[in-house]
Every structure is written in structure tokens, then in C-alpha cells.
Amino acid sequence: MDLPGRHDAPIETPVEMIPEWDGSIAYLDRDGVLNVGRSDYVKSVDEVVMLPGAGNSIASLRKAGYRIVIVTNQSPVNRGMFSHQQLRDMNQAVLDGLLKENRNAIVDLVLYSPYAPWENSPVRKPGPGMLQAGRQLLSGLPLEITHDSAELSVRFDEGRSFMAGDRNADIGAAKSHGVRAFRVDPSLGIVGIIDRLLDDDDLGDAVEI
């Protein structure tokens, strides 16, 4: 079974449970949502440039009761362009950048897919595997990865959960996992749609891709 990578911990390490959490998760892409993306990939800490307002947006989502899970495709790892450790340093730079803007911009999980497109892994968006893993870890469920979340042996009510990203793969992952999808303008990042994300009545963007 393909599994995603996890920032600073083995994938199956238990996550702190929060009392009275309603189960809502904000699944967020990284590049183009929290930090500036690049057509040739963000390849080093020096290339991590935060998008203004990202930290404040994360803090607002947490205040609204969401837990935060970053789910990012990082095929350069398996392509040999950079290592898991180098990716760890880049992810940490993003987390530090969020907290620098707002100390309440706490991220619960950072999951990444090292798989290349031709590996056909359900863990690579538009597959739902990273979203499945995020849900299962935050809910204390055993890890089970499938190509379609409807096929999981244990399904959890996703409630207000959503996926936000700037690419078709993010919209596809939302569709495969059964949550609302929000398309992000990469020149603005998450701050450009934060009012929509905080509106429980917003059904998100079309998932036809």
C-alpha cells in the first residue's frame, strides 16, 4: 500500500485528539496557496517565499474550528531532484513563515506525495490518498488508502471539510474524497478566498475537470 510522507514524524505516529472537534478539516495545497509556487518547483529553502496573509488565514480557519492538513505533491523527490530531508527543510520554512505572521497559524499535519505521475499512486493528487490519510490520522483510524474514498471500509462524515488548491489535481482530489473544492488564484493564495472558506453555505467550485 502506497503511503504519503509526513513532515517530521513516521506516517503512523498518533496525532493529538482535540475534544469537541466537529470533524472539519481544511485540506490545503502548499505551493500557490501558502507560499509562492514556481513552474520549475520550489527546490530549496531559499526559494520559499510566503504569500501575504497566509498565516492570518490559517489562524482564522483554526478559530472557526478547522484542523489544518497540508497535502502537497512533491514528485521531485522520486525524480531525484531533491531529497526527503531537503523537502523537510522547505516544509519547515513554510510552517515557520505561517507562524511568523500569526502565532495561531498552527498546522496539524503536513503530508506529501513523493510519487511521479507515471507511478499511478492514489497518494498523488488527484488521487484522494493524502486526504484519506489526513482524515484517518486525525480521527484515530487505521490507515487505509484507496483510489476512491467511496471504497474505504470506514467512512467518516467530512462535514464542513474542503480542499483548496490552485491546480486541477487539487480539485480532482476533492472530488475523489468527497469534500468541497475551492480553486485558489496562485498570485493571491489562500487569502484571496478566505471569506469563501469561512462561509459554511459556500458549496465550493465545480469539480468537472
Give the residue numbers marked as catalytic: 29, 31
The conformational region for residue 23 under phi > 0 = left, psi -120 to 50 = alpha, else beta, is left
* Beta carbons of 194 and 53 less than 8 angstroms apart: yes
**Distance (Å, rounded) from C-alpha 49 to C-alpha 46?**
8
**Distance (Å, rounded) from C-alpha 164 to C-alpha 193?**
9
Interacting residues of 87 by C-beta distance below 8 A, sequence separation 6+: 5, 74, 77, 112
**Distance (Å, rounded) from C-alpha 123 to C-alpha 131?**
8
Residue 110 identity: V
Beta-strand pair 162-165/109-113: unpaired
* Beta carbons of 93 and 140 less than 8 angstroms apart: no
Which H helix or E strand runs over 181? strand 180-183
Interacting residues of 16 by C-beta distance below 8 A, sequence separation 6+: none
